[in-house]
């Protein structure tokens, strides 16, 4: 009987201890996220989520300013908001591939706003859609993955939605570039 009370007392103490430390851990987690990206976190589901996040956290391969981060979020949402995660990741990869390629500007903002003969490289910039999109959580997650170095693009530097593109422009893609892959509504080239 004595053992039973000691065990119950131990379990009760453990529950009390865990219940009182969880808010402190959640607050620490929220502060860590705010410092990492300058965003707020509404809530954290559990201490387990914090542990999982910490274990999965990777270093960023690309160091970007807040303006570049927002620009990448916006262009991915504007170009691939209706695509799955891979489709969004491919668009983010193309932007980052261009930043690294000497034939293109060397910042995310300059790549996204690049204009040749009065025509933007990314049509949502020219149409204004880029400025009005609502960025989804999925897009935010995918952009984070791209900034941490996840790249499935096989070096693609261009993409187009053949069904929406001008046939003359698609002819240039077909004749002057190398087809890399097709995903969702986009074809990717280098």
Q: What is the DSSP string of 19-78?
A: HHHHHHHHHHHHHHHHHHHS--------HHHHHHHHHH----SS---HHHHHHHHHHHHH
Question: Domain locations in the chain?
Answer: 2-56, 66-189
Per-residue pLDDT tens digits for 55-106: 456 789 999 999 999 999 999 999 999 999 999 999 999 999 999 999 999 9
Which position has the higher pLDDT, 3 or 138?
138
Give dist(CA 57, CA 66) in Å, integer: 19
Per-residue pLDDT tens digits for 7-44: 545 555 545 444 554 455 445 444 444 444 444 444 44
CA distances in angstroms from 103 to 100, 157, 188, listed in the order given: 9, 10, 17
Q: Residue 179: which H helix or E strand, with range?
A: strand 179-183
Per-residue pLDDT tens digits for 60-69: 999 999 999 9
- pLDDT > 60? residue 155: yes
Confidence of residue 1 (pLDDT cuts 50, 70, 90): low
- pLDDT > 60? residue 115: yes
Fold that domain 66-189 belongs to in CATH? Arc Repressor Mutant, subunit A (1.10.10)
Per-residue pLDDT tens digits for 169-188: 999 999 999 999 999 999 99
Closest CA to 88 of 70, 109, 73: 73
Q: Residue 166: which H helix or E strand, with range?
A: none
What's residue 59's pLDDT? 87
């Amino acid at each position: 009987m004595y053992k039973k009370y000691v065990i119950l007392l131990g379990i009760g103490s453990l529950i009390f201890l865990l219940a009182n430390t969880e808010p402190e851990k959640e607050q620490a987690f929220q502060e860590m996220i705010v410092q990492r990206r300058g965003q707020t976190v509404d809530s954290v589901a559990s201490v387990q989520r914090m542990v999982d996040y910490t274990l999965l956290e990777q270093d960023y391969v690309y160091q970007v300013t807040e303006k570049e981060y927002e620009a990448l979020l916006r262009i991915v949402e504007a170009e691939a908001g209706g695509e799955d995660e891979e489709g969004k990741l491919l668009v983010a990869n193309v932007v980052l591939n261009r930043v690294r390629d000497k034939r293109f500007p060397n910042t995310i903002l300059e790549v996204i706003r690049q204009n040749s003969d009065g025509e933007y490289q990314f049509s949502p910039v020219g149409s204004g859609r880029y400025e009005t999109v609502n960025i989804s959580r999925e897009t935010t997650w995918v952009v984070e993955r791209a900034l941490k170095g996840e790249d499935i693009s096989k070096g693609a530097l261009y993409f187009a939605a053949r069904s929406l593109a001008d046939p003359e422009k698609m002819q240039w893609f077909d004749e002057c570039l190398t087809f890399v892959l097709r995903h969702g509504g986009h074809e990717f080239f280098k």
